[in-house]
Amino acid sequence: MSAEPDLPSHLAPYRPNVGVALFRPDGRVWIGRRAGTPGPHNWQFPQGGVDAGEDLQAAALRELAEETGVSSVTVLGRTDGWLTYDFPPEHAGSPIGRSWKGQRQVWFALRFDGADQEIDLEGHPPAEFDAWRWGLLSETPQIVAPFKQAIYRQVVEAFAIFAVG
């Protein structure tokens, strides 16, 4: 897989990002609660920025390891093309919101080949998540931040073949 291609100008204001849906062999998916984020919509999958020239799959594996400690995985699939979302107005004052309109993402489905003891949320400070659980892929659009729900519906559709429930 190659590094990020040249992008059409309509995607330029979007930060390049990768996301990971980490599946257990039984079809349940890893869901983390964002550290320091109150409210009922504070769960999500690991995700993060892509460094300039970085291979997208390498970025996904790096982000997964940094945010969860997990490295025992097998790649199952990825989404086609970029999925985009805009940041909500309240993000305008944040460092990321001042630099970008939103994010464009490629998502990877990975199978977790390790044991739960491999998961370490504090291995790469600062911790992105303060709790985690195995859940259903289909529940994720309802528990993420509202501005990410459309993307999560697309991820559910793309990766339903790897899920249960």
Which CATH number does the domain housing residue 150 bear? 3.90.79.10
User: What pLDDT, on a 0 to 100 scale, did the predictor assign at position 165?
Assistant: 60
**Prediction pTM value:** 0.89
Domain-located, residue 70: yes
Domain-located, residue 99: yes
Domain-located, residue 27: yes
Domain-located, residue 90: yes
- 78 CB-near residues (< 8 Å, 6+ apart): 56, 57, 106, 107, 108, 109
62: containing domain? 15-162
CA 57 vs. chain centroid, Å, equals 12
The 10s digit of each residue's pLDDT in 7-46 is 444 445 899 999 999 999 999 999 999 999 888 899 999 9
Domain-located, residue 9: no
**pLDDT range class, residue 94, cuts 50, 70, 90:** confident
Domain-located, residue 4: no
